[in-house]
């Protein structure tokens, strides 16, 4: 079985290959092979820190002897001017990996920062903030890591680890109850089954069929409160998830309406990257 570290290295190697191709001609033609460099990753905008282990591995793939020191813990807030990490190593390796490392670090810090805003907005309610599958293809593992660093929780990793019956599934399966019953027949006992509902009738049908989680989609906080009360009358009440364009300004209303969790696609599909820089200088051999 591939370790998480091995999977990370394999993905980073693929991303480096996309950028480097046949070779980093600028670096190879201008920087001496024996040159060494040092630098500091610096936050230029306020952010919640995420992705330092990923950035470190990107550099280390090209320089296994990389010297790296974290300066700001992952998950903490950083103000402009804060040093996130210091690094020293082979100049060519640092230059070649720089753009990939910064791209991932900036994206992950941006996701973690947005997540923390939502988490702070529902503080004290017991409601969790979830990510979704609305991630950049190929970057889901990094996006999910960033959500967790921001204090959020990860939803299903993909199509394989949880049943989530949505509108098209309902229509093609002959209704939400039929879909849940067929999924339950086939699924392992440990696999959760979630069903999206868009009406009170569908809600009652999903609860009666034994959904573990009910996703109340595109409804007002008032409707979420009313439907949550209905669902919680069941002998085995489902987890209540709310979703559907829920903004930062409105998320607390959904939490106070009784949602156990709120899933927010904007955490990963509308990323505002953090501004982070790396200035390198020559270091002694």
| pLDDT attached to residue 45 | 97
The answer to whether 212 is a known catalytic residue is: no
| pLDDT attached to residue 284 | 77
pLDDT tens digits for range 63-76: 999 999 999 999 99
Average pLDDT of the residues in 144-158: 97
pLDDT tens digits for range 13-66: 999 999 999 999 999 999 999 999 999 999 999 999 999 999 999 999 999 999
> In terms of domains, do 129 and 17 share one?
no
The answer to whether 134 is a known catalytic residue is: yes
The answer to whether 98 is a known catalytic residue is: no
> In terms of domains, do 174 and 265 share one?
yes
> In terms of domains, do 20 and 124 share one?
no
Average pLDDT of the residues in 93-101: 98
pLDDT tens digits for range 242-253: 999 999 999 999
In the numeric block, which tokens belong to residue 2? 């591939």
Q: Buried (b) or exposed (e) across 187-197, using 16+ Cβ within 10 A?
A: eeeeeebbbbb
| pLDDT attached to residue 285 | 60
* Structural domain total, the chain: 2
- Alpha-carbon distance of 17 to 99, in angstroms, equals 12
| pLDDT attached to residue 3 | 65
Catalytic pick from 134, 192, 204, 250? 134
The residues that bridge with 153 in the sheet, in sequence order, are: 130
Catalytic pick from 131, 149, 196, 205? 196
* Residue closest to 54 by CA, chosen among 107, 2, 115, 92: 107
> In terms of domains, do 190 and 279 share one?
no
The answer to whether 44 is a known catalytic residue is: no
Q: What is the DSSP string of 203-248?
A: HHHHHHHT-SEEEEES--HHHHHHHHHHHTTSSSPPEEEEESS--T
Catalytic pick from 117, 133, 156, 166? 166
Percentage with pLDDT > 70 across the chain: 98
> In terms of domains, do 276 and 260 share one?
no
Catalytic pick from 99, 156, 181, 184? 99
pLDDT tens digits for range 103-126: 999 999 999 999 999 999 999 999
> In terms of domains, do 279 and 139 share one?
no
- HSE-up of 164 (CA within 13 Å, CB side)? 14
The answer to whether 166 is a known catalytic residue is: yes
Residue 92, classed as helix, strand or coil, is helix
> In terms of domains, do 242 and 264 share one?
yes
> In terms of domains, do 140 and 257 share one?
yes
**What average pLDDT is seen over the chain?**
96
> In terms of domains, do 8 and 63 share one?
yes
Judge whether residue 201 has pLDDT over 80.
Answer: yes
Where residue 5 falls among pLDDT bands split at 50, 70, 90?
Answer: confident
> In terms of domains, do 178 and 210 share one?
yes
Catalytic pick from 182, 198, 217, 272? 217
- Alpha-carbon distance of 102 to 4, in angstroms, equals 21
- Containing structural domain, residue 24: 4-116+271-283
> In terms of domains, do 109 and 173 share one?
no
Q: CA gyration radius for the chain? A: 23
Ramachandran quadrant class, 107 (left: phi over 0; alpha: psi -120 to 50; beta: rest): alpha
CATH number for the domain harbouring residue 107: 3.90.1170.20
> In terms of domains, do 231 and 109 share one?
no
- Alpha-carbon distance of 241 to 155, in angstroms, equals 11
Average pLDDT of the residues in 75-97: 98
CATH number for the domain harbouring residue 241: 3.20.20.70
Judge whether residue 1 has pLDDT over 60.
Answer: no
């Amino acid at each position: 079985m591939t370790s998480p570290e091995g999977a990370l290295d394999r993905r980073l190697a693929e991303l480096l290959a996309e950028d480097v191709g046949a070779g980093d001609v600028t670096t190879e033609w201008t920087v001496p092979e024996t040159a060494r460099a040092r630098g500091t990753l610096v936050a230029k905008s306020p952010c919640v820190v995420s992705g330092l282990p990923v950035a470190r591995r990107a550099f280390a793939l090209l320089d296994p002897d990389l010297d790296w020191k974290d300066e700001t813990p992952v998950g903490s807030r950083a103000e402009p001017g804060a040093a996130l990490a210091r690094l020293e190593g082979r100049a060519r390796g640092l230059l070649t990996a720089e753009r990939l490392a910064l791209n991932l670090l900036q994206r992950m810090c941006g996701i973690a920062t947005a997540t923390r805003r939502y988490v702070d907005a529902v503080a004290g309610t017991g409601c969790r903030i979830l990510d979704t599958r609305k991630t950049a293809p190929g970057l889901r593992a990094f996006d999910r890591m960033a959500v967790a660093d921001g204090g959020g929780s990860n939803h299903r990793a993909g199509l394989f680890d949880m049943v989530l019956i949505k509108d098209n599934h309902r229509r093609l399966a002959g209704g939400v109850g039929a879909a849940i019953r067929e999924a339950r027949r086939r699924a392992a006992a440990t696999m959760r089954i979630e069903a999206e509902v868009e009406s009170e009738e569908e809600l009652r049908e999903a609860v009666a069929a034994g959904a573990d989680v009910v996703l109340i989609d595109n409804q007002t906080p008032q409707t979420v409160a009313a439907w949550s009360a209905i669902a919680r009358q069941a002998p085995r009440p489902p987890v209540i998830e709310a979703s559907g364009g829920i903004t930062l300004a409105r998320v607390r209303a959904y939490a106070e309406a009784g949602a156990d969790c709120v899933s927010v696609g904007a955490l990963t599909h509308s990323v505002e990257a953090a501004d982070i820089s790396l200035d390198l200088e020559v270091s002694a051999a």
